[in-house]
Amino acid sequence: MRIHKEGYMTILATLLFVATVLLILNHITEHQTWFHIFMYVLGLGFFLMIVRFFRSPKREPGQAQHVILSPADGKVVVIEKTNEPEYFKDERIQVSIFMSAADVHVNWFPVSGMVNYCDYHPGKHMVAFNPKSSLENERSTTVLKTPDGQEVLVRQIAGAVARRIVTYPKVGETIVQGDEMGFIKFGSRVDLLLPTDAKIDVTLNQKVRGTQTVIGRLG
C-alpha cells in the first residue's frame, strides 16, 4: 500500500502521540493489566486507521476525449441543474461526490486539457453533504478546458472535519485525465459543474471510484 505524501507529517505526529501515551501509561503503573492491553490495541487501531486514510492506490485510468471520469472515490449525492455563481454565472449540471472518512481522499483530473481558473476560498466547515457547503464551506475551485474548448469545473470542498485542501495545478498548466489533482484531509466532497448538454451516466447514491467510473460524456 502506497502512502500519499500529504500524510507523512500527520502519520509521524500520530505515531509520536500514540507512543507517548503508551509510555506514560507504562510509567505510572507497575503491572500489566487488561486495561493496558486494551490501550495497546486501541492505539494500534487508531494509528492504522490514520495510515489507511492516507493510502494512495495506483490506478490506470482509461483516457478518452469527451468522457468525464470520476475525480474522487465516494458516493454520488447530487445530480441536478443549478446556477453556478463563481465562474460560469449560468446554468450547469452539478454532480456531487461525498467522500466518507473510509474513502480514498486523493482527487484526480476528470478530463484532459488546460487549467483556465483556480481559486481558493476560506469558509465554514459544515457537513459536506449539506447543499450549502458548495458555496459556504472552505473550498478550492478549478476550471479545466478540454482540447475542443469545453469547460469543466471541479470544486474541492472541506467538510466538518477536513481542515486542509490541497490543489496542485496552476492556471495555464496542461493536465492529463487521471493524473493527481489534489487531496482533501478527512471527510469532504467534490462537485463537478458540467455543460447542460452533458450526458450523465451515474445515478444518485451510486458508489464511484476515482479515475475508474465514467461520470458522463461531454456533448
CATH of 67-217, one of 2.70.70.10, 1.10.3720.10, 3.30.70.370, 3.40.50.2000: 2.70.70.10
Q: Cell triple for residue 166?
A: 490541497
Q: Which of 56-65, 71-80, 150-159 has the lowest mean pLDDT?
A: 56-65
> Region 149-156: what's the mean pLDDT?
95
> Region 119-132: what's the mean pLDDT?
74
Nearest to 80 by CA among 212, 219, 202, 184: 202
Look at residue 173 in the predicted model and tell me its pLDDT.
Answer: 96
Catalytically active residues are: 188
C-alpha 219/C-alpha 217 separation (Å) is 6
Domains in the chain: boundaries:
5-53, 67-217
